[in-house]
Structure formats: structure tokens, C-alpha cells
Amino acid sequence: MTAAKSSKARLEPAEVKAELLAKYPPKVARKRSKQIMINEALENGTPEITANVRTIPGIITMRGCTYAGCKGVIMGPTRDIVNLVHGPIGCSFYAWLTRRNQTDPGPEGPDGENFMTYAFSTDMQDQDIIFGGEKKLAAAIQEAYDLFHPKSIAVFATCPVGLIGDDIHTVSRNMKEKFGDCNVYAFSCEGYKGVSQSAGHHIANNQVFRHIVGVDDRPVEGKYKISLLGEYNIGGDGFEIDRIFKKCGITNIATFSGNSTYKQFATAHQADLNAVMCHRSINYVADMMETKFGIPWIKVNFIGAKATAKSLRKIAAYFEDKELIDRVEQVIAEEMPEVEAAVADILPRTEGKTAMMFVGGSRAHHYQELFSEMGMKTISAGYEFAHRDDYEGRRVLPSIEVDADSRNIEEIEVEADPARFKPRKSAAAMQALEAAGTVKFKDYEGLAPDMAAGTLIIDDLNQHEAETLVKLMKPDIFCAGIKEKFSIQKLGVPMKQLHSYDSGGPYAGFKGAINFYQEIDRLVNSKVWSYMKAPWQENPQLSGAYVWE
């Protein structure tokens, strides 16, 4: 690349793609090429992207592991389940409260059950690896039970547990029977089980569905009962969404799993609608609940003020109740003026600026709503571990190849519950709602159709490509996670973590949108990172180039 070419105005997307691949050996370049897509609107959708495949060894991926997806993401935010990690202490320590998922002490007050601040681990040692760790696990479950008398204990397997073959499920079942008043179950979520944390989501979904959802039939009161699936209360997002639901008169029985409790999951089968926010992490539970209990699901998004209004309207339209429809309109009318005033304030400083976001399996899509409200364009985005349908829409599901890595993850066979299956709406009523265009069931369009033609969509971005991309396209802001943060800032570009939010939040809902506008305005208009000059830029210690083959 020559210096003259580094101006973002002159680089075509195909040239950027070629630059990203230029340093790879040919075989690696061929593989990566299929995960880098130049977006365009085709007659029947968008181009096909390769996703949810193994990262090529040697590449520094942004991804996490299966254990992270199960223990950290899905089960981490529930406050009154003891999460006991069977494995070496590091797996527990590094999964401990780094995601900024918040919780509310709940009706029991600040002394109520909240185990999130503890790191429970069996602290496996060499001798456990050699002689087996089942006895140690049983003792740890017993110790947690004696100390806290929790309603539930969840056991998580880390890599060595799978390698030595400890039977964590039998140990858990035996302890559950022994206690009688504590639900104990285990997750075979060894880090290596899948190609990313996505496999961990699936494993967690299966066990939550099998062991918790529907175990409590005590009735939950409420006129419009929903559950919110795939919202994890990072930076208090769930608090803001719950505030809005409450104002609308909507009862949120359970959030999976931000700010949640065991009882919420146990009673979630009583909802009349499942609203799915992060589809990637929780779609399995939504599908299984529909089959077993007859609860339909719709896709929602509470990231972005307009998206929030749209999602509320969808929920109201589903219930087909004038009182709720009017109430939702009233809430939107009350909330929007403050949002509009905030947009008017920041727009002159943010309009026309560019953003890139590479996050997980849904936020790289959802956050584009907030940026477009600020007049900012997303020039490149992608997921770490999403599947093709998250890019291209649910309609591609039948054409996704199931490879050995995916086949490795259990698919539960679910049937309608003989006593409790109750279709919430007739097939005709659901069709009528879809025909009216207000509600679409079990559907989502994916990230690609929402992005402009000529933008770059990149799956499983890595360290090398992130740096190259930023150097070539010079976005005004780059959004990703802690592993990317400092290398991007060293390139002189502001960086915002969209996993933990660094600090601050909420960014969901109406009040969250205002917080986000102000934070991004501050970041894209601060010049501080452009003053950065790394010492090696002036005084290089090494010179030369890599030569392949």
C-alpha cells in the first residue's frame, strides 16, 4: 500500500479486502476471503458469508470459548444460583464479574440472595487431574449447600474435566437427590466443545430448559405477560427496559438472563409472548418453549430509541388490546421529546462520522441503530461468533451446512407438554397479524440487509485485520472488546467497548439512547488519541518483512 492510497475516500471495498488478505499464506487467504463480504443487495437477499467455523490456528481471534458462553454469558447474570466451576482456578477467576452485568437485590433487599460477587470453584490440582475430580466436586457442592442453602447450584465443566471424563451430571443428580430442596444440574461446557462461545450458549439453553423452565407452576399475575430473552443487563440495560415495560403495563416474568432469578426461569412458561432480543444466544430456549408450551416468539431490539418504540409497538400489536396499544403510544410520546432534544444537540458534531463495530453475535447489528440516529455511518461490521442467519436472515437456516463442530452440540428433542401446552393464539390469528404487517413471528432479517451497499462485513475479525482495517479506512470510532481496545487506541482512533461498555450505561431504551449519544459525541470529538505516537513509530527496533514460502 502506498501512502497516497491510505485516504479512505479513494479505497474501494475490494481494495480493502485485498489488503486484509495480502499478508496471509494462500490457503489462509482463501479461507478468510469467504468470511469477508462486500455487502450488496441481491434480488433474493445478500451475498453468502461463511460463519461459525473454526478459527485458523495461529490467528489471534477476538473470540472466547464455549465455557465463557455458557457460564459467563447465559448463567452468569442470575443472582441466586450458585455457579460452581469445576476446574482450575483461573477459569473461575477470569470469568468473575468482568462483563458488568448488573443485578438488583430484589424484594429481599440488599441482604437477599446474590451469589454473583462470589467466585465458586473446585480449584482442581494435578492430583485431581490424575485421580479424578468427582469426589472433590461432590464435596464442593456440599460445602456451597451448607454455607448458603441456595435454591439451586449449577456446575460448569472446564476443559480438563472433559479430558479426564469426570461425570459431573451424575454427581449433580446425586447431590440434588440427597438435598431434596436444591436443584443441582451440570453443564458440559468445556471450553473446547465448539468453535466459539456460541456453542456454550446452546449448551446453557438446553440445560436451563431441561432443568429449570417450567418447574414452578405457582401463578404469576399480570395482564400482558411476556418474557424478555437475550438481554443481559450490561451497564443496567435491563433496568431501563424494565422501567419502560412497567410504564407500559407490561409484566416481564423473566429476563434471560439479565437481572434474573431462579424463580423467573422456573415460571417463564406462563408468559404469553417471548420477546427475543439477542437471538444468537437464546433462540434455542425460545424455540423449545414454543414447542413445549405454545408461546410464540418475536424478535425485538431495545438498542436505539426508534428501535425501542418499534419493539414496544410490536409487543402491543401482538396482544391486540386497545388499552395496551394506547398506553404504549402514550409512553413513546412521553419519552421521545427528551431523546429528540438530545439528538438535536449532538447531531451537528456527529453527523457524517463513521463507525466500525465487531462484537459478539448481535450487538454489531443492534448498535448500528444508535449510530444512525446520530447521523453516523457504519462502514464495516461483523460478529465474532454468529451464524450465517445472524448475517443473512432466518430464511437461510435450511441451507446452513451442519459440520462436525456443530453436530457435537446436543439438540434436544422437545414435544408439546401434555398438560401445559396451550397455543396463545390460533394459527389464523397469527397469520392475520403477519398479514397486517405489524408482527412477524420467528423471524429476523440479519445484519447484512441493514448495512449499506459497499460496506465490509467481516466474520471472526482478528488482530491483524482489525489494525489493517483501521489504518486503511480510519473510522471515527471503533467498537469491540477489551482485547482490541488498546491496540486500536494506539492507532489514534477512539475505542468504545460494546461488551462491558468500559464504564457507564445503560444504553438500551430511551434514556440509554441519550447516554449513548453523549458518550459517542464525547469520544468522536476528542482528539486525544490522535496525539498518540508509539515509540517504535519514531524509533523502530526491527526492520524487514515476512516472506511466505
Residues at the interface with ligand CFM (CB under 6 A) = 69, 73, 99, 197, 230, 232, 234, 278, 280-281, 359-363, 499
Task: Please give the torsion angle defined by the CA atoms of residues 135, 141, 144 and 147, in that order, rounded to the nearest 10 degrees.
Answer: -70
Least separation in angstroms between CB 459 and ligand CFM:
13
What are the φ and ψ backbone dihedral angles of 38, each rounded to 5 degrees? -85, 120
Closer to ligand CFM by Cβ: residue 63 or 377? 63
Which residue is it, cell 401482538? 318
User: Contact at 8 Å (CB) between 520 and 495?
Assistant: no
Q: Output the CA–CA distances (angstroms, integers) from residue 191 to 33, 64, 157, 500, in the order listed.
A: 27, 9, 8, 21
Report the C-alpha gap between 369 and 477 in whole angstroms.
Answer: 15
Report the C-alpha gap between 529 and 291 in whole angstroms.
Answer: 52
DSSP state of 367: H
Written as one letter, the residue type at 257 is: S
Report the C-alpha gap between 18 and 3 in whole angstroms.
Answer: 16
Closer to ligand CFM by Cβ: residue 101 or 264? 101
Q: Which of 32, 51, 63, 68 is catalytic?
A: 68
Report the C-alpha gap between 238 and 241 in whole angstroms.
Answer: 5
Report the C-alpha gap between 319 and 433 in whole angstroms.
Answer: 10
Closer to ligand CFM by Cβ: residue 225 or 280? 280
Report the C-alpha gap between 166 and 171 in whole angstroms.
Answer: 9
Least separation in angstroms between CB 500 and ligand CFM:
8
Closer to ligand CFM by Cβ: residue 160 or 361? 361
**Selection from 154, 164, 176, 166 nearest residue 72 by Cα:** 154
Closer to ligand CFM by Cβ: residue 150 or 194? 194
Which secondary-structure segment (H or E) carries 90? Answer: helix 89-93
User: Contact at 8 Å (CB) between 463 and 487?
Assistant: yes
Burial 274-304 (b: 16+ CB within 10 A, else e): bbbbbbbbbbbbbbbbbebbbbbbbbbbbbb
User: Contact at 8 Å (CB) between 259 and 213?
Assistant: no
Q: Which of 201, 202, 211, 279 is catalytic?
A: 201
Closer to ligand CFM by Cβ: residue 291 or 500? 500
Q: What cell numbers appear for 74 in the block? A: 447465559
Q: Which of 51, 65, 305, 513 is catalytic?
A: 65
Closer to ligand CFM by Cβ: residue 70 or 271? 70
Least separation in angstroms between CB 92 and ligand CFM:
17
Q: Is 201 a catalytic residue?
A: yes
Dihedral sign from CA coordinates of 111, 116, 118, 122: positive
Least separation in angstroms between CB 357 and ligand CFM:
9
Written as one letter, the residue type at 408 is: N
Written as one letter, the residue type at 271 is: A
Q: Is 65 a catalytic residue?
A: yes
Q: Which of 32, 63, 99, 499 is catalytic?
A: 99
Chain centroid to CA 297: 18
Where do the H-state alpha helices sit in 456-508? 463-473, 482-489
Closer to ligand CFM by Cβ: residue 53 or 433? 53
User: Contact at 8 Å (CB) between 19 and 1?
Assistant: yes
Report the C-alpha gap between 448 and 456 in whole angstroms.
Answer: 10
**Selection from 224, 222, 254, 427 nearest residue 314 by Cα:** 224
Closer to ligand CFM by Cβ: residue 68 or 316? 68
Write the DSSP assignment of 295-312 as a string of letters: --EEE---BSHHHHHHHH
Least separation in angstroms between CB 229 and ligand CFM:
10
Closer to ligand CFM by Cβ: residue 150 or 361? 361
Q: What cell numbers appear for 97 in the block? A: 464479574
Q: Closest residue to ligand CFM, Cβ-based?
A: 360
What are the φ and ψ backbone dihedral angles of 296, each rounded to 5 degrees? -75, 160
Least separation in angstroms between CB 363 and ligand CFM:
3
Active site residues: 65, 68, 99, 201
